[in-house]
Structure 1
Amino acid sequence: MPIKIESETIGMLLTDVSRLLRGAFDRKVNAMDLGITPGEARTLIQVALTEGIKQAEIATRMGIEPMTLSAYLDRLEGLGLVARVPDPADRRAKNVVITDSADPLLTELMAGLREMINAYTAGLDEAERELLCGNLRILRDNLRRLDPCLAGKETGKEKGPAQ
C-alpha cells in the first residue's frame, strides 16, 4: 500500500500559499496594466527593498538566474525606473537603485498589492496578521541561520514589507 503523505504540514501549507500568492500576484500585476510584467514588478519591488545592492545579490534573493534578472533590469532601466551605478567597493560590480521616476508606479503597484493581500487575509484581525508576520519572520530567520547555503547571504533588514 502506498504511503500517505500529510498535506497540512507547515511546509506543505507554505508551499501551497506561496504558489497561490505568486499566481495571484501575476494576475494582479497584469490586470493593473502598469506597462511592466509580473517578473519586472517583482524585480522593481526587490530593488526598492534592497536599494543599492549588487545585481547578483538581487538574483539570489529572488531565486532567479542572473541572466533573467539582467533582462528584467534592462527593461526597467530602459523605462527609466532603475539605474545601475558603480559599486564604490568593487569597480567591476554594479549596484541597482530606484529612480525618482519609479515612485508613481511603485506607489500604484504597492496599493494594488495591499488591496490584494487585504482580500486574502480577510478573516484575520490586525493582531492575527501581526502574529502571522512575526511567525513567518521567525521561520525565515531560522532558515537563514540553519541552512549553510544561505548563511551570510541575506540580512533580513529589508526596508519594508514584501508582497
Structure 2
Amino acid sequence: MPRKLESDTIGMLLTDVSRLLRGAFDRKVNAMDLGITPGEARTLVQVAVTEGIKQAEIATRMGIEPMTLSAYLDRLEAMGLVARVPDPADRRAKNVIVTDKADPLITELMSGLREMMNAYTEDLGDDGREVLRANLRILRDSLRRLDPCLAGREKGAAE
C-alpha cells in the first residue's frame, strides 16, 4: 500500500498557498478590468519592484520562460507602460523600467491587491501579518544563500 505523505509540511503549505494566491490574483486582476491580463499585471508589478534589471533576471524571478516574458513586455511596451532601455554594463542586454503612464494603473492594481490580501490575512491580525512577513523573508534569504542554483543570481540576495 502506498505511504500517505504529510500534507502540512512547510513546503506543501507554501506550495498550496502560492497556488491559491496565484488563482486569487488572476481572478482579482480580471475582475478589476484594467485592460491587462493577469500575466501582464504580474510582469508590471515585477518590473516596478525590480526597476531597471535585465529581462532575463525578471523571467527568472517570475519563474517563466524568457519568451513568455518578452510577449508580456511587448504588449506592456505597446501600451506605453514599460520601456526597454540599454543596460549600461552590457550593450546587448536590455533593462526594463516602468513609465510615468503606468503610475495610475500600478496604483489601482496595488490598491486592489492590498484589499485582496488584507481580506485573506485578516484572521492573522496585524502582529501575525508582521510575523509571517518576517519569517517569509528569513526563508527567502536562506534559500538564496544556501541553494547553489540561486546563490548570487538574484538581485537583492542576502543584502
Cα displacement (A) at 1:29: 0.2
Of all paired residues, the percent bearing the same amino acid is 83
CA contact (8 A) 1:141 1:156 kept: no
Can you list the C-alpha shifts for 1:41-85, whole angstroms capped at 9, x where unaligned?
Answer: 000000000000000010000000000000000000000000000
Structure of greater relative contact order (alpha carbons < 8 Å, 6+ residues apart): 1
User: In 2, Cα distance between the equivalents of 1:135 and 1:107?
Assistant: 27
SS at match of 1:123: helix
Secondary structure of 2:97's partner?
A: strand
Once superposed, which parts of structure 1, at least 4 consecutive aligned residues long, lie more than 6 Å away? Answer: none
Listed as ranges, the matches of 1:62-73 within 5 Å are 62-73=62-73
> What is the aligned partner in structure 1 of residue 10 from structure 2?
10
* Residue of structure 1 equivalent to 2:82: 82
**TM-score, normalisation: structure 2:** 0.97
Q: Report if aligned partners of 1:87, 1:93 keep a CA contact under 8 Å in 2.
A: yes
Corresponding residue for 1:59?
59
Structure 2: gaps spanning 5 or more residues:
none
Q: Which runs of 5+ in 1 are unaligned?
A: 158-163
The alignment's C-alpha RMSD in Å is 0.9
**Matched positions, count:** 157
Could you tell me how far apart the structure 1 residues matched to 2:79 and 2:148 are? Answer: 38
The letter for the 2-side match of 1:8 is D
Aligned to 1:146: 146
What is the rounded CA distance, in whole Å, between the counterparts of 2:20 and 2:95 in structure 1? 31
Q: What's the offset of the Cα at 1:155?
A: 3.4
Question: Is 1:125 aligned to residue 125 of structure 2?
Answer: yes
Task: Give, in angstroms, the shift of residue 156 of structure 1.
Answer: 3.4
Secondary structure of 2:134's counterpart equals helix
2:105 matches 1:105: yes
CA contact (8 A) 1:145 1:151 kept: yes
